[in-house]
Amino acid sequence: MPDLLLELFSEEIPARMQRKAADDLKKLVTDALVERGLLYEGAKAFVTPRRLTLHVAGLPVRGRDVREERKGPRVGAPDAAVQGFLKAAGLASLDQATIVSDPKKGDSYVAIIEKPGQETLAAIAEIVPAVIRAFPWPKSMRWGKASAAGASLRWVRPLHSILCTFGAETEDTEIVPFEVDGIVSGNVTHGHRFLAPGPITVRRLDDYVSSLEKAKVVLDADRRKEIILTDAKNLAFAQGLELIEDEGLLEEVAGLVEWPVVLMGSFEERFLDIPGEAIRATIRANQKCFVLRDPATGNLANRFILVSNLAASDGGVAITAGNGRVVRARLSDAAYFWQTDRGSLPDLDTFAESAKKLGLDLAKPLDQRMAKLDKLGVVFHAKLGTQGERVQRIAALARELAPIVGADPEKAERAAKLAKADLPTEMVGEFPELQGLMGRKYAELQGEDASVAAAVEEHYKPLGPSDRVPSDPVSVAVALADKLDTLVGFWAIDEKPTGSKDPYALRRAALGVIRLVVENGVRLGLIEPCAIQQIIIADGMQYRDTVSAQAAIDKARGTYDALREEDRLSPLENRRARAFSSYGDPDKIAADLLSFFHDRLKVMLRDQGARHDLVDAVLGEGASANDDLLLITLRVAALGRFLDTEDGKNLLAGYKRAANILKAEEKKDGEGAFTGAADLQLIADAGLIEEKALAVALAQATPKAEAAVAAEDYEGAMAALAELRPAVDAFFDKVTVNDPDPAQRANRLKLLNQLRQATRAVADFDRIAG
């Protein structure tokens, strides 16, 4: 069967756009083919800096013929209906329609529409120009004289030629004829810009790939990556060094070259005094080069790996020398930043007020930077104050959380006050990705406690589902405080995520809180600290001159306790509503935020293989009260293990049967008609062993399950419920619930309601699927 080969040849496509562009080209063309009934066997897209290529294998020569019967109005219908039918079916008159008889509905008109399948060549000639004109580049441009016209072609970079051939393996291919803004399709491509720029005539994929290879172009991006990685490792190994792999950089570099040539450069050893992370960031960001390390020491080596797009006649000596000059210049800048950040600021006197407010020591360089950040009034968010004010809030909350996570409150507060101090440093100003890490380096240099220094870096973590979660208690306290302050703040000003938009990465922050709590086994009720933090945010101006973070927390807690007392003594519309009219009720906002945590927890557990319906079952009706995320995960895990057993599966089936019966009967008798305990005398009078056994089992298992849940022994609670299984099975096997005797019927429904209530002590089984 024929194949399609399409190449769009242009100036250099930015590396960051290449993968998606190849995927988009494949999807747009193949979707359009399928819409026309042109099914194919396989498709693959390729991309280099100068070309987007698509190969579609196993296409038919033409599409299938289509025969469609379109039913029309009854014979004798009004003329308007008949004319509408003729127009829709494309018929000139009723003579072209067929009359079909139906014994019930009578005679009606039917149009039989036959459409011959479209020639694939013609279909491609329609599809490709439309795809090119509407291609979804993130950024595009117009060029040449035609650019003066607003309707001219837009492409990521000037498009030079279009190769488009179609044909079977055993036959000569045809050029698919079309034209896009003066660019006529053909069967000619070009090789490497410098090494083999001449025209190349091709027919199909096999000779296309081989011809490009001879013309110094490696078409497959993954193969270019493999070449770069293998050659880089071999080159490093030959020098007794080890490549520091970087998948993101490897992907980018593979998108910058069509013929990768790996070379090694060097720089002076004196630059190794700069922190390794800064060296790597400098060389990576400015030169797109890889760094090497000495496997014996684990330290960086004064070597780097670069990837050229040329096989130079001098073996790459000039290219390496040129890159080395630039690397040395960049490292000189980094050395200057590193030295400057460790020294004192020239205008210390102007920071005295900020230092006093935050409790900072201006004899220490990192404290000076924090005081500078506060003095400059750098805004975190227009409605949430400055970075300095935010640091005060984080310090207060970190001190509050410290005993809960097992951290020293003084260390947690100190770490929080230094956590953002590296933001105004020269190094972070040049390389924002080093924030936190450079703060740790500077904290260590000025003699901070090891836990405090670690927390300065780790408070940003985890940055995603696969990022490491800090375990040092001080780091956990500051990380939780930082993320909770962010979440509470944006909830208070109603800047919550909506749909696919999350500009402040609040979903990531919530997942970070969940992972910090769950993976470190932290027992933390979220409602109260979130509500108190909102009070601190809302009344932040009151705490601007507060030196003690503990004083801020104590004042906020006093306000919170007073509000709860007002709730008890007076209606909500009284003083509480007035006091919080500008930013909302702290309890309400905290509860809404907790619901967001529950949603993110479901996503996390589902990604880990747990059933999200079990989370709903554990949360039950009172979801707002379940603010201990660790306990929720433990209960979900225990419930999942229980439902995987035979006892669990059968008890769930019995529960569902009981619940369905109760729902049906409550519709007749009213909601709550079967509350209360079953009458034991009526059970004795009925004389059914199975009914009595269920009553006894419920009387024994219910308090056991409730006591186990109260003691947070969820395995014990499940074991108690498991004791019900034989009695439930026997009851439904032998006992008629809807007894003709109304008293017996009501009593047995009460017994089933007791079963429902017993299981709800552990989880809401109504929410469990199955």
Local structure of residue 346 (DSSP, 8 states): T
Taking the CB of residue 687, how many other CB atoms lie within 10 A of it?
8
Asked if residue 576 has pLDDT above 70, the reply is: no
> Which of 363-377, 549-563, 695-709 shows the lowest per-residue confidence on average (mean pLDDT)?
549-563
| pLDDT for residue 66 | 67
Residue 615's alpha-carbon distances to 17, 559, 645, in angstroms, are: 39, 34, 18
The confidence score (pLDDT) of residue 549 equals 67
The tokens for 686 are 């009925």
Half-sphere exposure of 26 (CA within 13 A, CB side): 18
609: confidence class by pLDDT, cuts 50, 70, 90: confident
Whether this model's pTM surpasses 0.85: no
The pLDDT assigned to 540 comes to 63
- Distance from C-alpha of 488 to C-alpha of 644, rounded to nearest angstrom: 38
Residue percentage of the chain with pLDDT more than 90: 57
What contacts 681, CB < 8 A, 6 or more positions away? none
| Structure confidence at residue 573 (pLDDT) | 45
**Between these two residues, 570 and 613, which has the higher pLDDT value?**
613
Report pLDDT digits (tens) over 722-754.
Answer: 888 899 889 888 888 888 888 998 988 999 899
Report pLDDT digits (tens) over 72-107.
888 888 888 888 888 888 788 888 888 888 887 788
Report the pLDDT value the prediction gives residue 123, as an integer from 0 to 100. 94
**List of residues 6+ apart from 5 with CB closer than 8 A:** 53, 54, 55, 163, 164, 165, 166, 173, 202, 204, 205, 208
Could you report the per-residue pLDDT of 643-691, keeping only the tens digit for each? Answer: 888 888 888 888 888 888 888 888 888 887 888 888 888 888 888 888 8
Q: Which residue has the tokens 């979220």?
A: 526
Neighbour-count burial for 11-46, b at 16+ CB within 10 Å, e otherwise: eebbbebbeebbebbbebbbebbeebbbebeebebb
CB 224 within 8 A of CB 254: yes
- Encode pLDDT of 38-47 as tens digits: 999 999 999 9
201, pLDDT greater than 50: yes
pLDDT of residue 321: 95
Residue range 298-321: mean pLDDT, rounded? 95
Calculate the alpha carbon distances from 485 to 393, 465, 488 in Å: 7, 20, 5
DSSP readout, 694-747? HHHHHHHHHHHHHHHHHTT-HHHHHHHHHTTHHHHHHHHHH--SS-SSHHHHHH
Asked if pLDDT for residue 24 goes beyond 90, the answer is yes
pLDDT band of 580, cuts 50, 70, 90 = very low
pLDDT in tens, 501-525: 899 999 999 999 999 999 999 999 9
Kindly tell me if the per-residue pLDDT of 542 is higher than 60.
no
Beta bridge partners of 201: 188
Residue 709, pLDDT > 50, answer yes
- The per-residue pLDDT for range 472-492, each reduced to its tens digit, is 999 999 999 999 999 999 998
404 pLDDT band, cuts 50/70/90, is very high
Q: Which residues pair with 98 in a beta bridge?
A: 110
SS (H, E, C) 664-704: HHHHHHCCCCCCCCCCHHHHHHHCCHHHHHHHHHHHHHHHH
722 vs 727: CA distance, rounded Å:
10
Q: Which of 344-348, 410-414, 584-588 has the lowest mean pLDDT?
A: 584-588
DSSP 8-class letter at 309: S
Question: Rounded mean pLDDT of 211-238?
Answer: 97
Model confidence at 565, pLDDT cuts 50, 70, 90, reads low
Task: Provide DSSP, 270-294.
Answer: GGGGS-HHHHHHHHHHHH--EEEE-
- What is the pLDDT, as a whole number, of residue 578? 40
pLDDT at 623 over 70: no
Question: Which of 63-77, 132-146, 375-389, 598-612 shows the lowest per-residue confidence on average (mean pLDDT)?
Answer: 63-77
Q: What is the pLDDT of residue 686?
A: 81
- Give residue 581's pLDDT: 39
pLDDT at 114 over 80: no
* 331 pLDDT above the threshold of 90: yes
Q: What is d(CA 215, CA 199) in angstroms, rounded to the nearest whole number? A: 10
DSSP code for 145: G
CA 593-595-599 angle, to 5 degrees, is 115
Q: Which of 605, 582, 584 lies closest to 593 in space, CA to CA?
A: 584
What number is the average pLDDT over the span 95-120?
Answer: 81
Mean pLDDT, the chain, as a whole number? Answer: 89
| Distance (Å, whole) CA 105 – CA 650 | 52
* Cα separation, 13 vs 9, whole angstroms: 10
Nearest to 763 by CA among 661, 611, 660: 611
DSSP 64: P
Per-residue pLDDT, 624: 46
| pLDDT value, residue 516 | 96
Mean pLDDT within 132-156:
89
Report yes or no: 428 and 434 within 8 Å, Cβ to Cβ: yes
- Residue 449: the pLDDT is 97
pLDDT at 137 over 60: yes
| 377: phi then psi, degrees, rounded to nearest 5 | 65, 35
Segment 334-348 shows an average pLDDT of 94
Q: How large a percentage of the chain has pLDDT more than 70? A: 94
Tally of CA atoms within 13 A in the half-sphere of 749 that contains its CB? 24
CA distances (Å), origin 494, targets 73, 105, 392, 584: 56, 59, 22, 10
Q: Is the pLDDT of residue 607 over 70?
A: yes
pLDDT of res. 554? 78
So what's the pLDDT on residue 528? Answer: 85
